[in-house]
């Protein structure tokens, strides 16, 4: 057991490659046999990943899911921000400039619309739950934008740590739901071409959610959605503690 | 050489991240503003330009394609390291806020997609 642990820990990233590879193989097998290919294999793999993250978090009490389990620490590196961004940029290889230009305006509009709409929804829910303090309402609204915008806004405004935790939770729920829900609603919302993928990325904004949701829908759409989504958090951090807070403050 | 493509990809990411970071500081925001998106734009420009042909054609290109193909496995690993427990322990308010934000945003996708298509350069006309 000790020998096993030594080898696994020393080669953590390699272990992660093997474990993820196995997970994907199982997922594609299930997608093929159980759902007849109706559900995409990568959608099942992502759902399995989230499920494993839940149990990993429950078992260890840590904040990075499966990666807190000693033997699977390499998942943390493989699924971390650096590798994610590196692979996302690589998906842009072969993208046509003309496709980007075509959806440029709609893409920009979608980023602002996405931030503002998610913020309003989050803030309204906070008010419905009885919050009246403008700082708390703004922080929770910002959490509904993304789980990064929430704490950035909250700490800029001096919100209590439990409100900040709440905003992070709202953002995480959003991100997870986008991962799982996107392939289910893709057809209904017309998510089948580069233009709508760019609008989708701008509206949803959670980079992890968009990255996984599009991967499970149609990998060809990934670069378009990711392109706009990566501007969303920046715009959210810009508007949250400033204009959006002033507006909330004026209303409440 | 495969590594040329990987190096080009890395250079695009680092350059994009630097610009995103500078944008963040310039706007007074504690975040990287669009670093990844800007990096993607660089890679698109490089792969569509003649000057970078040696870095994107043949073996060099496979160095980039490999990482592009590793995207889904990396996303699966990313899913496995999310703080799912915290998401559900946030209570009903967090769940309702998160779910409502997603539903409304999903509903807006077809609405805003029309903005691009209302212009004369719709898909059919090309």
The number of C-beta contacts closer than 8 angstroms across A and B is 338
Among A21, A50, A79, give the residue marking a domain's end.
A79
| Tokens 């029309």 sit on residue | B114
Is A89 within a domain?
A: no
Is A88 within a domain?
A: no
Cβ atoms of B75 and A123 within 8 Å: the answer is no
Same domain, A130 and A203: yes
Same domain, A21 and A118: no
Same domain, A140 and A237: yes
Is A225 within a domain?
A: yes
The answer to whether A207 contacts B33, with C-beta atoms less than 8 Å apart, is no
Instruction: Grade residue B117 by pLDDT with cuts at 50, 70 and 90.
Output: low
pLDDT digits (tens, 9 = 90+) for A80-126: 888 988 988 888 887 777 777 777 788 888 889 999 999 999 999 99
Same domain, A107 and A231: yes
Same domain, A138 and A224: yes
Among A48, A79, A110, give the residue marking a domain's end.
A79
pLDDT digits (tens, 9 = 90+) for A19-41: 999 999 999 898 888 877 667 78
Smallest Cα distance from A132 to chain B, Å: 14
The ipTM of this complex is: 0.84
Same domain, A165 and A242: yes
Q: CB-based contact (8 Å) between A26 and chain B? A: no
Cα(B101)–Cα(A12) distance, rounded to whole angstroms?
37
3-state secondary structure chain B: CHHHHHHHHHHHHHHHHHHHHHHHHHHCCCCCCCHHHHHHHHHHHHHCCCCCHHHHCHHHHHHHHHHHHCHHHHHHHHHHCCCHHHHHHCCHHHHHHHHHHHHHHHHHHHHHHHHHHCCCCCHHHC
Cross-chain CB nearest to A178 (options B72, B102, B113): B102
Among A45, A79, A113, give the residue marking a domain's end.
A79
Q: What is the pLDDT of residue A168?
A: 80
The answer to whether B74 contacts A193, with C-beta atoms less than 8 Å apart, is no
Is A85 within a domain?
A: no
Q: CB-based contact (8 Å) between A177 and chain B? A: yes
Q: Specify the number of domains making up chain A.
A: 2
Same domain, A23 and A136: no
Cα(A186)–Cα(A214) distance, rounded to whole angstroms?
9
Domain extent at residue A36: 2-79
Cross-chain CB nearest to B106 (options A65, A103, A185): A185
Smallest Cα distance from B1 to chain A, Å: 17
């Amino acid at each position: 057991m000790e020998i096993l642990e030594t080898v696994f820990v020393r080669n953590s990233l390699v272990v992660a490659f093997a474990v993820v590879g196995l997970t994907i193989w199982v997922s594609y097998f299930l997608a093929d046999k159980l759902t007849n290919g109706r559900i995409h294999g990568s959608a099942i793999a992502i759902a399995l990943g989230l499920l494993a993250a839940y149990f990993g978090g429950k078992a260890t009490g840590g904040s990075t899911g499966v990666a807190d389990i000693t033997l699977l620490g390499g998942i943390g590196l493989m699924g971390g921000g650096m590798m994610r961004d590196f692979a996302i940029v690589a998906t842009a290889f072969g993208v046509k400039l003309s496709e980007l230009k075509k959806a440029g305006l709609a893409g920009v509009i979608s980023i602002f619309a996405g931030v503002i709409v998610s913020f309003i929804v989050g803030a309204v829910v906070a008010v419905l739950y009885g919050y009246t303090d403008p700082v708390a309402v703004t922080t929770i609204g910002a959490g509904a934008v993304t789980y990064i915008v929430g704490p950035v806004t909250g700490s800029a405004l001096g919100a209590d740590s439990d409100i900040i935790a709440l905003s992070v939770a709202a953002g995480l729920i959003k991100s997870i739901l986008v991962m799982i829900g996107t392939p289910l609603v893709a057809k209904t919302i017309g998510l089948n071409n580069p233009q709508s993928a760019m609008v989708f990325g701008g509206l949803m904004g959670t980079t992890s959610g968009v990255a996984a949701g599009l991967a499970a829908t149609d990998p060809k759409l990934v670069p378009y959605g990711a392109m706009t989504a990566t501007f969303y958090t920046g715009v959210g951090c810009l508007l949250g503690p400033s204009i959006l807070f002033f507006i909330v403050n004026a209303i409440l | 050489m495969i590594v040329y493509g990987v190096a080009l990809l890395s250079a695009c990411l680092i350059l994009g991240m630097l610009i995103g970071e500078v944008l963040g500081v310039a706007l007074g925001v504690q975040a990287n503003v669009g670093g990844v998106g800007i990096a993607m734009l660089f890679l698109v420009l490089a792969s569509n330009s003649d000057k970078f042909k040696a870095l994107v054609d043949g073996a060099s290109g496979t160095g980039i394609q490999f990482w592009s193909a590793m995207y889904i496995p990396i996303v699966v690993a990313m899913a496995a390291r999310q703080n799912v427990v915290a998401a559900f322990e946030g209570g009903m308010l967090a769940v309702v806020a998160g779910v409502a934000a997603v539903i409304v945003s999903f509903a807006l996708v077809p609405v805003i997609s029309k903005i691009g298509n209302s212009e004369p350069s719709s898909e059919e006309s090309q």
